[in-house]
């Protein structure tokens, strides 16, 4: 019997690569993103296994999270692992952000992650499972033009450490992954200078992060990789 695992932001990038790895291990997955049911990548997953369920879900919205909770319980019962991977960043210098863009980033990166964790934590405690939160090097270092994004990732780090302190005695592993630059389509309105900076770095691949998460989940139960900061070798900060 494989593990029951829920992954957000699973239609592409890190979430998709992780789904491929976990399906290959025999795990049972619920995979969500805003439009995953129409994703062409699903055909690639079917070549590995059909042990997965798809649900279109915007995890910035409480009503979608409630729907996701009910869907997951109906398909898998209790889950062993929650992977909070969905996230969004919009480049905007301070003073130029709108109320809407600030709220959208915080609702997805912080509210959604926290509320979804609250919905499933009882399952994970019962099964002595794991919570994987995808933070960022931006949760350690501020980047000009990405202040709201950085603030959300600092929040993810703080939330992860707080629930780790609360849940470790119950046998739950809280794994906080903090990648540097990853070669995905992350980032909206990125200026040319930032684009050129990305090109100057030998960026991490989504599969690099997925393999790291797989390693952390496969570690013996008494081993918890609480916080993993991973950067490209030639990314200074």
So which residues are the catalytic ones? 149, 153
Query: Under a CB-based contact definition with an 8 Å cutoff, are residues 6 and 42 in contact?
Result: no
d(CA 34, CA 68): 12
**DSSP letter for each residue of 130-184:** EEEEE--GGGTS--TT-HHHHHHHHHHHHHHHHHHHHHGGGT-EEEEEEE--BSS
**133 CB-side CA count, 13 A:** 33
Q: Which of 13, 20, 42 is nearest to 179 (CA)?
A: 13
Phi-psi region for residue 171, left (φ > 0), alpha (ψ -120 to 50) or beta? left
Phi-psi region for residue 9, left (φ > 0), alpha (ψ -120 to 50) or beta? left
Contacts of residue 95, defined as CB under 8 A and 6 or more positions apart, other chains included, come to: none
Helix, strand, coil proportions of the chain in percent (round to 5)? Answer: 45, 15, 35
Query: Under a CB-based contact definition with an 8 Å cutoff, are residues 52 and 75 in contact?
Result: no
């Amino acid at each position: 019997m494989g593990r029951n695992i829920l992954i957000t932001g699973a239609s592409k990038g890190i979430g998709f690569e992780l789904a491929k790895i976990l399906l290959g291990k025999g795990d049972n997955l619920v995979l969500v993103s805003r439009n995953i049911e129409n994703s062409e990548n699903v055909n690639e997953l079917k070549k590995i296994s059909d042990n997965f369920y798809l649900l279109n879900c915007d995890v910035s919205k409480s009503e979608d999270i409630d729907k996701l909770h009910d869907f997951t319980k109906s398909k898998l019962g209790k889950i062993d692992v929650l992977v909070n991977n969905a996230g969004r960043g919009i480049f905007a210098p301070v003073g130029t952000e709108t109320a809407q863009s600030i709220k959208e980033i915080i609702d997805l990166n912080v509210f959604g992650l926290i509320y979804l964790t609250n919905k499933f934590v009882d399952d994970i405690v019962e099964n002595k499972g794991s919570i994987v939160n995808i933070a960022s090097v931006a949760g350690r270092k501020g980047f000009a033009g990405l202040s709201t994004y950085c603030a959300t990732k600092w929040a993810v780090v703080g939330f992860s450490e707080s629930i780790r302190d609360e849940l470790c005695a119950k046998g739950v592993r809280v794994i906080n992954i903090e990648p540097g630059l990853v070669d995905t389509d992350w980032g909206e309105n990125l200026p040319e200078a930032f684009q050129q900076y990305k090109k100057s770095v030998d960026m991490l691949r989504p599969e690099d992060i997925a393999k790291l998460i797989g390693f952390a989940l496969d570690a013996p139960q008494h081993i918890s990789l609480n916080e993993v900061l991973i950067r490209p070798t030639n990314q200074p900060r």
